[in-house]
Amino acid sequence: MGRQRTFDEDHVLEQAMQLFWTKGFEHTSIQDVCEYAGVHRGSMYHTFGDKHELFLACLDRFRHTLRDRLFVQLEEPGDPREVLTRFFDTLIDRMLDENKQRRGCLIANTAMELAPLEPCVEVRVAANLLDMEHMFHAFLVRAQREGKLKSKHSLREMARFLVTTKQGLHVMAKTTTDRKMLEDACKVALSLV
Amino acid sequence: MGRQRTFDEDHVLEQAMQLFWTKGFEHTSIQDVCEYAGVHRGSMYHTFGDKHELFLACLDRFRHTLRDRLFVQLEEPGDPREVLTRFFDTLIDRMLDENKQRRGCLIANTAMELAPLEPCVEVRVAANLLDMEHMFHAFLVRAQREGKLKSKHSLREMARFLVTTKQGLHVMAKTTTDRKMLEDACKVALSLV
DNA sequence: TATTTTTTAGAATAACGATTCTTTAAAATA
DNA sequence: TATTTTAAAGAATCGTTATTCTAAAAAATA
């Protein structure tokens, strides 16, 4: 009974996420999101609550896609060094994609814009960074078990190092379009694995 | 002839910088700055122009202190690895200082909040990152000349790697108070030098 | 068809913040 | 002391944005 939702809730969330990703929380108005997603303000508030709730939903969405992608990429065959090189290469590709105006990573962006001011945001960002650490760690454990790891560091230290490197690249890519600069940093980082 | 400025222009700029540093550009209102620095809005606009100009002045101020500090720290005596370890240790100390609510680095914060949206900001951020690269590079050149460098990478690559690592730490420190986490990342990074 | 629920359109509200302006007080100098 | 410049107080303007509300149209079901 009653009219059904005509817009695709999931699609709207995706559009909202894209906008927040590109312009940040403060520089994106609810109106922006409504126009971009083709949904009326009323429906937006009715469906997703206020701007903060909407943003948190977007953040969660981003977290999950990031997590899924990392999981898939670290499962790929090859030497650990090869796998990580491929991972960082495609990362750099995405970062430099002209169409995606150096938007970086929503997690890293949010960490800088909102994390210390908003506890709800902070826990999510922290959780994501920890997630990444765990996934890198599991990857390294596997590699070590297969005897393919040369590093003399503990796997925990290595995992943390890899997460930090990834975040550093996101900062660098905000002002650089020089692929070589990013590749150089990666090359050195991965020589450790 | 005529009354002289009673407030210390330099001090006001410093206070403004501290606020922008802690809360970011959008989350800091001109009124905030005026109250914090104890100067009236009118004087503020008269002296520094609008909010953007004020921010740019703060950014430049930050750049120069950062530059000076890095210069001093990289001039200190000791093996290159020791010097860099000390540098990153004091960096971590500052990042975790309870009084400075995880404000990170104004350059990195600004890179994420404003860089791709504001050309004037972008050039300054980019210039600063390049500055750091050059200073690390000069440091490595000196170290190599003294035969104290073991790395097999080019010095340019190493310098870029170090800048990236520093930026990565700033992102991590936004949501972590776990010193060990940051130290682990540094330890791995510096094992390369 | 009558009822229900959800969509829109768009007005209305209610801050907040950047910026400007006017006036008055204060200090410096000629 | 007269003049000049600046500071401070505070009102006023103007634009943006989050949020809510009302009314009307649209679709689903009983």
- Span A108-119, pLDDT tens digits: 999 999 999 999
Q: What is the pLDDT of residues B77-122, one digit of tens each?
A: 999 999 999 999 999 999 999 787 899 999 999 999 999 999 999 9
> CA–CA separation, B89 vs B115, rounded Å?
28
Q: Verify that B189 and B160 share a domain, yes or no.
A: yes
- Is A170 an interface residue toward B (CB < 8 Å)? yes
Q: For residues B126 and B110, what is the distance between their CA atoms, to the nearest angstrom?
A: 11
Cβ pair B113, A20 in contact under 8 A: no
User: Is the per-residue pLDDT at A129 higher than 80?
Assistant: yes
| Mean pLDDT of the region A24-52 | 94
Given this model, what pLDDT does residue B101 score?
Answer: 85
- Are A131 and A164 part of one and the same domain? yes
- Distance CA B17 to C1' C18 in A: 19
Look at residue B1 and tell me whether its pLDDT is greater than 70: no
* Cβ distance of B153 and A188 shorter than 8 Å: yes
For position A123, what pLDDT does the model report? 97
Domain CATH for B34: 1.10.10.60
Residues A122, A115: contact at Cβ < 8 Å? yes
φ, ψ (nearest 5 deg) of residue B97: -55, 120
The residue segments making up the domain with residue A54 are 1-63
d(CA A158, CA A140): 8
* pLDDT (0 to 100) of residue A6: 76
Together in a domain, B38 and B94: no
Same domain, B58 and B87: no
Q: Which residues contact A3 (CB under 8 A, 6 or more apart)?
A: none
Residues of A in contact with B63 (CB under 8 A): none
Binning pLDDT at 50, 70 and 90, where does residue B4 land? confident
User: Is B185 in CB contact (< 8 Å) with chain A?
Assistant: yes
Same-domain status, A164 and A135 = yes
Q: Is A182 exposed, middle or buried (0-12, 13-18, 19+ CB in 10 A)?
A: buried
Alpha-carbon distance of B166 to B149, in angstroms, equals 20
**Contacts with A, B 33-92, CB within 8 Å:** none
Please state, rounded to an integer, the average pLDDT across all residues of chain B.
Answer: 94
Residue A137's pLDDT is what? 98
Cα distances (angstroms) measured from residue B144 to each of A188, B149, B153, B154, B155: 17, 5, 12, 11, 9
pLDDT, position B184: 98
Cα distance between residue A127 and residue A122, in whole Å: 8
Rounded Cα distance between B184 and B38, Å, is 42
Q: B47 is written with which tokens? A: 């002296």
Q: Which helix (H) or strand (E) holds A92?
A: helix A80-96
Nearest CA in chain A to B103: A116
Confidence of residue A2 (pLDDT cuts 50, 70, 90): low
Distance CA B169, CA A33 (A): 32
Q: Looking at residues A164-173, what average pLDDT do you find?
A: 98
Residue B2 has pLDDT above 70, yes or no: no
Distance from residue A103 (CA) to nucleotide C11 (C1'), in Å?
A: 36
Quickly state the pLDDT bin for A122 (edges 50, 70, 90): very high
Return the residue matching tokens 């590709």. Answer: A93
Chain B residue numbers with beta carbons less than 8 Å from the beta carbon of A171 are 108, 111-112, 164, 167-168, 170-171
User: Within this chain, do residues B55 and B144 fall inside the same structural domain, yes or no?
Assistant: no
pLDDT of residue B7: 84
Instruction: Classify residue A38 as left (phi > 0), alpha (psi -120 to 50) or beta.
Output: left
Residue B168 contacts residue B189 (beta carbons within 8 Å): no
* pLDDT greater than 80 at residue B5: no
Q: For chain B, how many structural domains are there in total? A: 2
Q: Is the pLDDT of residue A193 over 90?
A: no
Q: Write down the pLDDT at residue B69.
A: 97
Q: Quick check: A25 and A73 in contact, CB under 8 A?
A: no
Tokens of A172: 């660098």
Across chain A, what does the average pLDDT equal? 94
Tokens at B24, concatenated? 């970011």
Instruction: Say what the pLDDT of residue A142 is.
Output: 95
Q: Are residues A153 and A101 in the same domain?
A: yes
What confidence tens digit (pLDDT) does each residue in B123-162 have?
A: 999 999 999 999 999 999 999 999 999 888 999 999 999 9
Q: Are B20 and B113 in contact (CB under 8 A)?
A: no
Domain boundary among B33, B63, B93: B63
Alpha carbons A31 and A23: distance in angstroms, whole number: 14
What 8-state DSSP symbol labels residue B102? T
pLDDT for the residue numbered A1: 60
Residue whose structure tokens are 């953040």: A59
A169 pLDDT more than 70:
yes
B47, closest nucleotide (Cα–C1') = D6
Question: What local confidence, expressed as pLDDT, does residue A111 receive?
Answer: 97
Is residue A94 domain-shared with residue A41, that is, in the same domain?
no
- Burial class (CB within 10 angstroms; exposed 0-12, middle 13-18, buried 19+) of A166: buried
Give the percent of chain B with pLDDT over 90: 89
**Residue matched to tokens 């002289």:** B4
Q: From CA A76, how far away is CA A83, in angstroms rounded?
A: 7
Answer whether A167's CB lies under 8 Å from A108's CB. Answer: yes
Instruction: Please report the pLDDT score of residue A191 as a whole number.
Output: 95
Q: Are residues B182 and B115 in the same domain?
A: yes
What is the CATH classification number for the domain harbouring B158?
1.10.357.10
For chain B, the distance separating the N- and C-terminal CA atoms, rounded to the nearest angstrom, is 59
pLDDT above 90 (res B16): yes
Contact of A84 with B83, CB cutoff 8 Å: no
Q: How far is the CA of A40 from the C1' of C10 (A)?
A: 11
Cβ contact, residue pair A175, B102, below 8 Å: no
**How many angstroms separate the first and last alpha carbons of chain A?**
60
Say if residue A101's pLDDT is above 90: no
Per-residue pLDDT for A4 more than 80?
no
pLDDT for the residue A177: 86
Same domain, yes or no: A115 and A132: yes
Higher pLDDT, A67 or A152: A67
Type of residue numbered B157: E
Residues B43 and B100 in one domain: no
Q: Do A124 and A182 have their domain in common? A: yes
